[in-house]
Structure 1
Amino acid sequence: MGFQLQSELDIKFSEVKFWTDSMIVLHYIRNEKSQFKTFIANRISTIHSLTKVDQWRFVPSKENIADFASRGVKFNIDGVKVWEEGPSFLKKPKECWPAVDIQGPEPHLLELKKTMSTHVMIEESTVDLLINYYSDWTRLLKAVAWLTRFKLYLLIMRSGRTDLSLQMGMLRVDELNLACLNLIRYVQRILFRKEIEMLASDTISKVKITNSPLRTLNPMMINGLLCVGGRLQISSWPESRKHPIILPSKHKVTNLILQYYHILEGHVGATQVTATVREKFWVLRGGVAMRRVIKDCVYCKRRNARPIQQLMAPLPPSRIEDGAYPFLSVGVDYFGPIMVKHGRSIEKRYGCVFTCLRLRAVHLEVAYSFTTDSFIMALMRFISRRGYPKEIYSDNGSNLVGAERELRKCLQNWVQERIHSDLLRKGIDWHFSPPAASHWGGVWERMIRSVRRVLDALVKEQPLTDECLETFMIEAERIINNRPLVPVTDDSSDLDAITPAKLLLMRENVTELTNVLSNDRYSKRWKQANYLAQVFWRRWSKEYVSLLQRRYKWTQLERNIREGDLVMICSEFSEKNKWPLGLVQRVLPSKDGLVRQVELRTRKGILVRDIRKLCLLEAIDGR
């Protein structure tokens, strides 16, 4: 009614109060926590949705004018006046209004819903505690055997029975066998209770066992154990083989037994281990259970682990975009040693290969030692002959890492004196491959193999001098740069194959000096060279770059390695089952969002490795 009056009247009320002379109603309204029966709860919910609790107040019954309408009253002037003006206390300040201290709801009210709660306590048996505690079948058997012996000791001490003998000293084989049978009997009574009761009752009830997963095994009870009946009763095999003990497929005891036989058989496959187990036990769905155990075997995981793979990364811009000049982006690596004759002694020399990532051209230098200084000098010779590179890619070799540190210090002084300030502003961007990830440098590694093949063909195990070695290096450089970049066809109408040498020299062959002395002939030769250069670049863009489109390996998109994954680090210096473990601490995704490099936390510190040198053992998401 109050809500309806406020909505119908064009009067704004500053405050609205509701009065009742029922203490029970006030208890109901002020109780916002207890759950009432449906009839009371629906009406209290309506009151709470339209009004606030503090709007309700108590009025004594003798001053409640609503009783005039509900109970009736004799007609007199005073009654009419009270009905029109309301109770007299409304004309007084609020402090004089009737007040009553309303406590919380009565706990014994019949309208309150009775709530009942039940606490269930599951008491785990001692055998279950032992089964869940141990992860090795032999240790579990020993624990149960010791517990059985202690139980027998308490029985003798309490009852004083002299017919029982207590074994002393170490455990015996018969005690372990008894522990095994007791454990299996305990498991069977839990999981095959219905079948055991049917077999123990009478022969008629055995018909009901046809609805059991054991129906094809024709089960039977032998010494309190559920065994396979089968069709081999009249064979000459041992009883344990004719009537193997039935085990459930999914139980901790079954897993421990299968794990024991798996280790006993030398971590062989599921078929062989299952055949060995069936000489004594018959595991329901044994092949599936055995494969599950092998899948969880840590030793098998480490032995059968395979390196992680990921989709081959897109080619970087340095491999496909046109540059201002050759050798703008360079890959560098060492190879050797090469033995040279120096006087009467034999010394080691090393080859330093610089390859243009865009043209696949090669520049070879001789390094006289495997030190940082020797590499820096080889790099300076390369820069003087081929120009200043913008990017250098290399393996994470110790000499190359040191060269990068020293080179950054030396270049500041060296460049200020020798090179234009613009080149100093550009500097050299040095990119290192992850440690132990040689495939990141496949561009220069392939060139090293070609250089070795040429050197082996030229040297033929003959002793070299430094002068001969430098000559052979340049000859090898010429031969490699003359190799075709695209397959050569038999069609006579095709132009000559593109080679790195033609792209570097901008000509097809070396021209005699006398042929270019004439101005007219020189102009024609220059136009021809310019034309050939344009043809070469167009063919290079169409033919060679298109060959880089295909992925010849790592063609499948795989799961990204994640932080928290447990991996095994491949090592060439130890056996596979002794490879160190690492935990992925941080992933280093490539530009395409795929992870090909990670940061690992190991026993020896933090390492950065390529994923193809890692074997995933346990994923953080369990996959």
Structure 2
Amino acid sequence: MELDAITLALRLTNAVLSQLSTVLKIQAVYIFSDSEIVFNWIKHRPLTSVGVRILNRLIEIGKITQHLQSMGLQVYFAYIATKYNMADCATRGLTQKELDSHFWWTGPDILKDPPESWPSTFNAFNCDAGFENEHQGASTIEKEAEIVETLKEPKEVLVTKKDLNKIQTIDLFVSLRKYSLQNAKRVVALVLSYIRVLAARANARRKFPIKLSALLEEVPTQNTPQLSGKEIATAGKMLVKQHQLATITPAILKSLKHLNIKFDPNDLLRCFGRLGKSDLDGESKIPLIVLQNSWLAEAIIRDCHNNGHPGISHTMSLVRQSFWIPKLRAQVTRVIRRCIPCQKFNNLPYKYPEQGDLPAHRCDGTEGKSYGCIITCMATRLIHLDVVSDLSTTAFLMMLHRFFARCGLPEAITSDNAPTFTLGETILGECLCAIKNDPAVERTITNREIQWKHITGHGKEASMRD
């Protein structure tokens, strides 16, 4: 705050003197502050351990100081005790009687004396005296600008091996940052499927077969062009694994040792807490570690938030069901503030005025037929009822979206092969067959990594079960 105050004081000084330079001759400018730390920063420049924001302020102070010196002015910085600081009076408060005769109006009396009579505690120094770290051929301001640019440049991530040879690890999926998490998973799943096909063809002609990773080995081979939920889940783990290889270094692991990070059987880094024997899901017991401020972390947060657009706490709980991201609350807040639907819904610019009744021809509704969908949990036999407007694929998908948003994602869905109702058997059978074979339905199911199962023909199972 004190550094910002000095920066603001120099800005105002520069603006005022630029207007008074033609009618008034000023020889020196004194900047007073009660912060010795800020004066130490101004004296000893450049610094690399104070952060980019402070360096930017120091650069601006140096530029304004040089501009004032080019106008023939001497710029001095001096320390003043807190009891003489007028700015503290506003924050600490004054009574009406004290304010009538307070130096808030005129300034401290000690500053009315000539500078030669000021006490030595002021420690006034010229800004030129603080340039002892200046290198030959480059000014201090140029050096500070170079440091700021160096701090802003992205650092190359190096992975240390046992032989101490350092190699650069490249994030293979960084080009997918422009896609959503679901689309990125589908792209990676297609690539992994192609790799499995190539490996199978090559192994048919090789004496020593190509050994795939454990993640690829656990995915069953299928001859259908559609992606399964298992392939989508494996693609998501592969995204996390490549992210961990490219960004998590031994130094970062050491700084996160309080999270008890270990490798799982698939060589994925997970946070092993104390909930291993709880009733939570496997991903919630030992969540995957994803570093903050990365494209993958933002994609995960956005994917969880888009499922119903919940608030900050609810979005954090959805993320932590499978992932552990350090400093999660700040990132979730940033993502929600950028969410256009949330901003439109929550931040109305003004209240709409009261409006009259709509015309009669706009209020006459149409009487249509509705259908009910029954979903039964196979574990607890709880029943979920929902209403669909018609038997179209779109209405069925919207019903699934509402069910997922309210009750969560099931691991598997079991549906019958044909209804046994007495009336409308043929029509309902064709509708259910079209729903189960529709590409849009299958894409929605695989995006959520759900397995769709069918009962045996002429079985007595329920219509659809969680």
The TM-score bracket by the shorter chain reads: 0.3 to 0.5
Tell which structure's C-alpha radius of gyration is larger. 1
* Higher RCO, Cα 8 Å, sep 6+: 2
The TM-score normalised by the length of structure 2 is 0.34
